[in-house]
């Protein structure tokens, strides 16, 4: 059903069903012919011997990896290529790996990291790992280490112990720092630091960096002990000039087909009849959008002006994916990929800070870690933890 047909309905109450268009995309982000010249120019400097190498674990559809690569446009701004080369990415989701491969290259592999030996993963200068957040999220189970995925961060610990990368970037939800008074985050930091690293904690608010979406992400920035100092937390670029949802999506309002990839994919739905569904809100045109979630189950927020939910492309835009980045599955599967992703622009700012740090002469430095790290470390002591141990759900912070 097209947008025009929805708007022509007289009763104004379209049936609640999903448009299950599954476009067959021949081209992804890297080789989109409509931007071929620009793409060749931007990517000309990538994959050179001078680049820092990256291994990416729990890669998802590639939002964080795209941020570290750079070489894309978003809302008219150029995000120049960065001197990083992802040599291998791994995820256990077939949808994520397919989408990543279509857009970013064939260096991604479908593997289960709980059974894969780190000796089988190549050594790299930098380790990226957006370890699963569902058991730490305020909208998830809050089970912490007792959850099914709560201890998967130890895959990063194993890689650090075996390969000793110079820099480690862990990523998760901000609620990890607050869950049980910070005891879980402090335990994770302790386990990471035991492998010979110092860690900083960055809580980044996406609108402060140019995203038209209210979203926070927590980054754990590790530096190997033989390197002095810390990367400097990225300074906000839009703190006093947040981009509204209307500014971010306005040019898509009149498009109802695949002129822009994934713009015809959306859920047609009335509001929940009882209880109020997650995402059952209408966005305010003059403010940043509500947070895009992976588990909305079709209850993605309403458009600020049109009588429908947000499209797959609009959700991807709110996450800062360039319009050439395509999602090849059904509406719900694509929205799950988008909601689970790290916004590329946040990744870009983190990557830029790490680039600047690695370009500094390695000598004793006066650069200190951010205040967020010290607050967490002073608040609680870590708990003793064995891999996949049974952790009681009533853990309290140690005072």
Structural domains in the chain? 37-234+343-379 (3.40.50.150)
76 or 260, greater pLDDT: 76
- Coil vs helix vs strand at 194: coil
Cβ within 8 Å of residue 192, ≥6 positions away: 156, 157, 160, 168, 170, 199, 220, 222
Predicted pLDDT of residue 376: 53
| H or E stretch covering 37 | helix 36-43
Strands 167-172 and 267-268: unpaired
Q: How confident is the model at residue 271 (pLDDT cuts 50, 70, 90)?
A: low
Sign of the alpha-carbon torsion through 211, 217, 218, 224 = negative
Q: Phi, psi (5° rounding) for residue 217?
A: -135, 150
Q: How confident is the model at residue 139 (pLDDT cuts 50, 70, 90)?
A: very low
Task: Please check whether residue 168 is in contact with residue 215, taking contact to mean a CB–CB distance below 8 angstroms.
Answer: no
Q: Please state, in angstroms and rounded to a whole number, the distance separating the CA atoms of residues 352 and 267.
A: 37
Task: Please check whether residue 222 is in contact with residue 192, taking contact to mean a CB–CB distance below 8 angstroms.
Answer: yes
> In the numeric block, which tokens belong to residue 139?
């909208």
Q: How confident is the model at residue 380 (pLDDT cuts 50, 70, 90)?
A: very low
Nearest to 250 by CA among 334, 339, 316, 314: 314
Q: Please state, in angstroms and rounded to a whole number, the distance separating the CA atoms of residues 253 and 306.
A: 8
> In the numeric block, which tokens belong to residue 80?
């120049």
Q: Please state, in angstroms and rounded to a whole number, the distance separating the CA atoms of residues 309 and 301.
A: 6
Q: What is the largest CA-CA distance in the chain?
A: 71
Strands 84-91 and 77-79: unpaired
pLDDT at 28 over 90: no
Predicted pLDDT of residue 110: 97
How confident is the model over 198-220, as pLDDT tens digits? 999 999 999 999 999 999 999 99
Predicted pLDDT of residue 120: 96
Average pLDDT of the residues of the chain: 79
Neighbours of 40 (CB within 10 A): 10
Can you give the pTM of this predicted structure? 0.80
Predicted pLDDT of residue 273: 43
Cα distances (angstroms) measured from residue 203 to each of 171, 195, 327, 339, 371: 10, 23, 28, 18, 10
371 or 153, greater pLDDT: 153
- Coil vs helix vs strand at 242: coil
How confident is the model over 91-121, as pLDDT tens digits? 999 999 999 999 999 999 999 998 999 999 9
Q: Please state, in angstroms and rounded to a whole number, the distance separating the CA atoms of residues 178 and 75.
A: 33
Nearest to 132 by CA among 107, 112, 153: 153
Task: Please check whether residue 297 is in contact with residue 278, taking contact to mean a CB–CB distance below 8 angstroms.
Answer: yes
Question: What is the 3-state composition of the chain as percent helix, strand, coil, each rounded to the nearest 5?
Answer: 30, 15, 55
Q: Please state, in angstroms and rounded to a whole number, the distance separating the CA atoms of residues 251 and 307.
A: 17
Return the percentage of the chain with pLDDT > 90, whole number.
Answer: 52
Averaged pLDDT for residues 357-376: 63
> In the numeric block, which tokens belong to residue 203?
């809580």
Q: How confident is the model at residue 308 (pLDDT cuts 50, 70, 90)?
A: confident
Predicted pLDDT of residue 245: 96
Return the percentage of the chain with pLDDT > 70, whole number.
Answer: 69
379 or 261, greater pLDDT: 261
Question: Counting every residue, how long is the chain?
Answer: 399
Sign of the alpha-carbon torsion through 219, 223, 187, 183 = negative
Q: Please state, in angstroms and rounded to a whole number, the distance separating the CA atoms of residues 267 and 351.
A: 35
Nearest to 86 by CA among 49, 45, 52: 52
Predicted pLDDT of residue 261: 75
Task: Please check whether residue 216 is in contact with residue 206, taking contact to mean a CB–CB distance below 8 angstroms.
Answer: yes
């Amino acid at each position: 059903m097209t947008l025009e047909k929805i708007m022509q309905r007289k009763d104004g109450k379209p049936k609640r069903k999903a448009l299950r268009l599954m476009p067959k995309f021949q081209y992804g982000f890297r080789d989109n012919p409509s931007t071929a010249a620009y793409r060749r120019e931007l990517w000309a400097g990538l994959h050179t011997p001078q680049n820092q190498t990256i291994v990416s674990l729990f890669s998802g559809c590639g939002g964080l990896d795209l941020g570290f690569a750079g070489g894309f446009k978003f809302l008219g701004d150029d995000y120049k290529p960065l001197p990083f080369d992802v040599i291998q990415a791994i995820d256990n989701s077939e949808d994520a790996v397919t989408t990543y491969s279509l857009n970013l290259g064939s260096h991604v592999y479908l593997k289960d990291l709980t059974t894969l030996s780190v000796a089988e993963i190549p050594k790299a200068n930098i380790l990226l790992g957006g370890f699963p957040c569902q058991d730490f999220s305020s909208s998830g189970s809050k089970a912490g280490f007792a959850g099914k995925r709560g201890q998967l961060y130890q895959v990063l610990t194993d890689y650090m112990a075996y390969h000793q990368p110079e820099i480690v970037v862990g990523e998760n939800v901000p609620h990890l720092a607050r869950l049980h008074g910070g005891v879980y985050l402090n335990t994770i930091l302790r386990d990471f630091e035991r492998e010979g690293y110092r860690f900083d904690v960055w809580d980044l608010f996406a609108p402060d960096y140019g995203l038209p979406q209210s979203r926070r992400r927590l980054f754990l920035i590790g530096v190997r002990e033989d390197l002095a100092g810390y990367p400097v937390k990225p300074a906000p670029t839009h703190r006093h000039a947040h981009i509204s949802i209307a500014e971010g999506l306005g040019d898509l309002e009149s498009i109802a087909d695949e002129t822009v990839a994934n713009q015809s994919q959306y859920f047609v739905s009335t509001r929940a009849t009882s209880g109020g569904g997650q995402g059952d809100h209408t966005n305010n045109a003059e403010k940043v959008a509500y947070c895009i979630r992976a588990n909305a189950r079709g209850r993605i927020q309403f458009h600020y002006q049109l009588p429908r939910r947000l499209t797959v492309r609009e959700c991807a835009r709110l996450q800062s994916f360039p319009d050439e980045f395509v999602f090849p599955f059904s509406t719900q599967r694509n929205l799950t990929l988008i909601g689970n992703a790290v916004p590329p622009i946040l990744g870009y700012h983190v990557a830029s800070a790490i680039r600047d740090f690695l370009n500094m002469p390695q000598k004793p430095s006066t650069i200190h870690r951010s205040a967020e790290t010290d607050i967490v470390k002073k608040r609680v002591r870590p708990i003793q933890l064995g891999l996949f141990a049974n952790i009681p759900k009533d853990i309290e912070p140690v005072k």
